[in-house]
Chain A
Amino acid sequence: MKKQLVIRVEPYGKEVTGSKEETVLEILRKQFYGRDGQPSFRGCWRGGCAFCKVELLEGEVNHNEIYSRTALADEEREKNFILTCQSQPLSDLIIRFLEKEDPISRLIRLKSETIK
């Protein structure tokens, strides 16, 4: 059996497991997105859109070099941000999801809250 690595997803404190052969995103899609109240995954899988960007708090990944520097700037990469769609885990990991800010959904949310 392949060695199972543990990935802890903050700030939810949820743990998922996977192998070095998979990308972090593939692991998250099987065990995290769309479960326990998490929305389903909605990114490009291709290193272009930054939807999958997280902060790597602990552990090592093998990060593919072909990805958009708009999605992940070199300075961010140096500060241990990664695109999960472009990363394979080399060890147990702790990652932290980032706040997303999107003006249209904010507007819609504000409206639906005032109506309720």
Chain B
Amino acid sequence: MGEGIMRLGFVVVQVTDLEAARKHYVEVMGLQMTDRTENEIYLKGWDEYDHHSIVLRQSNKAGLEKMAFKVHTYEDMEQLEKQLQRYGASVKRVSKGENYKVGEGLRFRLPSGHTMELFVDMEYEGKALPQVNPAPWPEGLIGVGAPRIDHLLITAERPHETVDFLMKALNFYMSEKVVENERSETPIAAWLFRSYTPHDIAIIPGKDERLHHFAFWLDEFNELRKAGDVFSKHDVPIDVGIERHGITRGQTIYYFDPAGNRNEVFTGGYIAYPDMPVVKWTVDQLARGIFYFNHRQEWIEGFTGVTT
């Protein structure tokens, strides 16, 4: 097996009012709209170079339609297809162009019912900065000015099955997991990665097929303060934050988009290597794992129980 999956490529997110969503993602989050059709809007952050990392699709539902991970090479993807089949997934080939500006890929469902795709090529768009002698950031960023997408968190009725599948069939590594007590191994929830961050995807218990949130990266802690300012100014409902995660050590604000999908702006956390020893959180300390500062039960209840 070569290099395998590289990173989260894009998410397709359902929104109930496309124009309200455009206003939010472009004018509040500061993403760049790279294309649009009547029912879809394609977005990327200023530091991303592929054509899009987010597709907003008009729907009568909120939530995640699918997530797509970018794979290094077509040989890697062939290898992953065999592994997926070996672990019981029914894999469909996706033809070039079936996803706008995206090459051939694979589509399958996780044990949790979420639709996942793999792809190798997406049309190059370029960063908002030149590739030669770039400035550290581009002029004219709007609102939060998020540089890129970072990760997503999904819910599953039997999280350990999906965790197992992601690790065995798709070679995800585990950074942290929630367990019953110090001696137990079965993950009640887990944070998994293929990039060098502590999570590209995380799975917590909840309803199958649901999205808990997807997150944008911000470059430093002070950017969270600015994001909070922007959210309040634009009446974006803030869910939780500024907070610190015990798990991943990241810092965060959670908020909702106009369709009620939860989003996060996230920074910090450590570098994750494939050989890192897995960090365990026992259930009795889990509240602190989720929100290290205000590890209060009521906060956790509204947080983990609300999905789209």
Alpha-carbon separation in the docked complex, A81 to B306 (Å) = 17
Binds B, one of A3-11, A14-22, A35-43, A87-95: A35-43
- Which chain B residue lies CB-closest to A47? B260
Known: A66-B17, A70-B63, A108-B297. A100 touches B259 (CB 8 A): no
Interface size class of B (residues with CB under 8 A): 35 or more
Contacts of A69 on B, CB cut-off 8 Å? 60-61
B297 and A46 contacting across the interface, CB-CB below 8 Å: no
Binds A, one of B75-83, B107-115, B282-290: B282-290
- B195 at interface, CB cutoff 8 A: no
Alpha-carbon separation in the docked complex, A40 to B237 (Å) = 13
A49 and B283 contacting across the interface, CB-CB below 8 Å: no
B286 and A107 contacting across the interface, CB-CB below 8 Å: yes
Known: A104-B189, A112-B297. A48 touches B206 (CB 8 A): no
- Which chain A residue lies CB-closest to B298? A39
B304 and A49 contacting across the interface, CB-CB below 8 Å: no
Known: A49-B256, A111-B283. A102 touches B60 (CB 8 A): no
Query: Chain B: interface secondary structure?
Result: mixed
B305 and A100 contacting across the interface, CB-CB below 8 Å: yes
Alpha-carbon separation in the docked complex, A104 to B14 (Å) = 25
- Which chain A residue lies CB-closest to B205? A103
Contacts of B307 on A, CB cut-off 8 Å? 49
- Partner pick for B261 among A48, A50, A108, CB 8 A cutoff: A48
Q: How far is the CB of B263 from chain A (nearest CB, A)?
A: 10
Contacts of A50 on B, CB cut-off 8 Å? 306
Contacts of A108 on B, CB cut-off 8 Å? 283-284, 286-287, 297, 300
Alpha-carbon separation in the docked complex, A110 to B297 (Å) = 11
- B204 at interface, CB cutoff 8 A: yes
B182-213, CB under 8 A of A: which get 1 and which 0? 00000011000000000000001110000000
- Partner pick for A107 among B17, B62, B283, B298, CB 8 A cutoff: B283
Interface size class of A (residues with CB under 8 A): 20 to 34
Q: How far is the CB of A73 from chain B (nearest CB, A)?
A: 10
Q: How far is the CB of A40 from chain B (nearest CB, A)?
A: 7
- Which chain A residue lies CB-closest to B300? A105
- Partner pick for B262 among A49, A100, A112, CB 8 A cutoff: A49
Known: A51-B302, A68-B61, A115-B284. A102 touches B256 (CB 8 A): no
Q: How far is the CB of A46 from chain B (nearest CB, A)?
A: 4
Alpha-carbon separation in the docked complex, A48 to B230 (Å) = 22
B62 and A68 contacting across the interface, CB-CB below 8 Å: yes
A44 and B297 contacting across the interface, CB-CB below 8 Å: no
Contacts of A100 on B, CB cut-off 8 Å? 301, 305
Most chain B Cβ neighbours within 10 Å, of A66, A68, A112, A115:
A68
Alpha-carbon separation in the docked complex, A49 to B14 (Å) = 13
Alpha-carbon separation in the docked complex, A68 to B15 (Å) = 8
- A79 at interface, CB cutoff 8 A: no
Known: A102-B206, A108-B300. A48 touches B286 (CB 8 A): no
- Partner pick for A46 among B63, B204, B257, B286, CB 8 A cutoff: B257
Known: A68-B62, A100-B305, A109-B297. A49 touches B284 (CB 8 A): no
Chain B contacts with A in 268-287, Cβ cutoff 8 A: 283-284, 286-287
Alpha-carbon separation in the docked complex, A108 to B31 (Å) = 37
Contacts of B287 on A, CB cut-off 8 Å? 108
Q: How far is the CB of B24 from chain A (nearest CB, A)?
A: 10
Binding site for A on B (CB under 8 A): 14, 16-17, 60-63, 188-189, 204-206, 237, 239, 256-262, 283-284, 286-287, 297-308
Instruction: Sort A-B residue pairs by CB-CB distance and give the 8 closest, nearest first.
Output: A48-B260, A42-B302, A102-B305, A44-B260, A48-B62, A103-B205, A68-B62, A44-B256
Binding site for B on A (CB under 8 A): 39-51, 66-71, 100-105, 107-112, 115
6 extra A-B contacts, CB within 8 A, seeds A40-B302, A105-B304: A42-B303, A47-B259, A49-B62, A49-B262, A68-B62, A110-B283
